[in-house]
Amino acid sequence: MERLAWKPYCRPFRTPLQTAHGDWPLREGLIVRLEREGRVGYGEIAPLEDFGTETLVQAVEFLDARAEDDSLEPPPELVCTRFALDCAAGALETAPARPLHVAGLLPAGITAYAALQVLLDKGFTTFKWKIGVEPIEVERALCAELFKLLHGHGILRLDANAGLSREETEAWMAFLEDYPVEYLEQPLPPGEEAFMAALAGRYSVPVALDESLCGPGALERWSGLFPQGPFIVKPALIGRVEDYRAWRAFHPGVRVIYSSVFETAIGIENALRLAALDEHCAEAAGFGTLESFPHEDQLGWHTYGPSLTAGTLDAAACEELWKRL
């Protein structure tokens, strides 16, 4: 016998997040609480509809049905719901308390320069900057300045959020040939994987997949075309934990970068635990999202810094966060 409950949340960003698709002012999601045989666990449903996940309405419709019949399993396309329920059921409880390096998240546009200096002073060495927001000439000039500031102190990742054209992507690849960039993340939308792989073969700049990896079978589908990755894995969007870990065990040579989707502390903790279980991953994780929300919303817990450790959020802390909703 199980007892399933859930509560919604709505968190305004400290300032609206600028991406190639426009401004994102609010993060909405659901916290799931599952009580079974005396054990209580928590998960978070944090959809990204632009990535092709389920909507919150679809998630709630399934949870309503599951509350009436606990034998129901989420269909494969409800990837966020599946991950949340797996976490609540204890799928990640064995994760070690392994520290993970964290990449600092830079704001889009001209404010990135000042933000980079602040993060360098705090000890960060890997940084992610979103592009495709300003005209390409403006962004490339600013990018050159970021590389000058970083020289000898760190490495930069660029994320286009699938917002570039083919011509813009090739222009960025040619420009980045002269700089020590770690990778260019998902410059083109899903469906353009073959073109992105061809570009990666012609230039020295790695092309990482992100949006292309959402949905059942996506990781396996693109492992052949991108045998070394890099793959940006957002735990909240992977679906069944057991299936993901089986894929990872079979593809240990793929570079995986674990990344947040702007979750609450419950989602962050579960993402950290999945990353901590991956003995093949030494990449800086994309958890520079913790400072994106005002502290007074009381749905954070982890301290933002150059490293984070799974296990920071225990069962008592999860219960406290649940009561705050």
The single residue of 7, 128, 148, 234 carrying the catalytic annotation is 234
Distant-in-sequence, close-in-space partners of 84: CB < 8 Å, separation ≥ 6: 30, 32, 43, 44, 45, 236
Annotation marks residue 122 as catalytic: no
CA torsion, ordered 161, 164, 166, 172, to nearest 10 deg: -90
Contact 83, 289 (CB under 8 A): no
Residue 57, CA distances (Å) to 41, 112, 234, 264, 315 in order = 22, 35, 21, 19, 28
The single residue of 7, 128, 130, 148 carrying the catalytic annotation is 130
Annotation marks residue 234 as catalytic: yes
- Catalytic positions are 130, 234
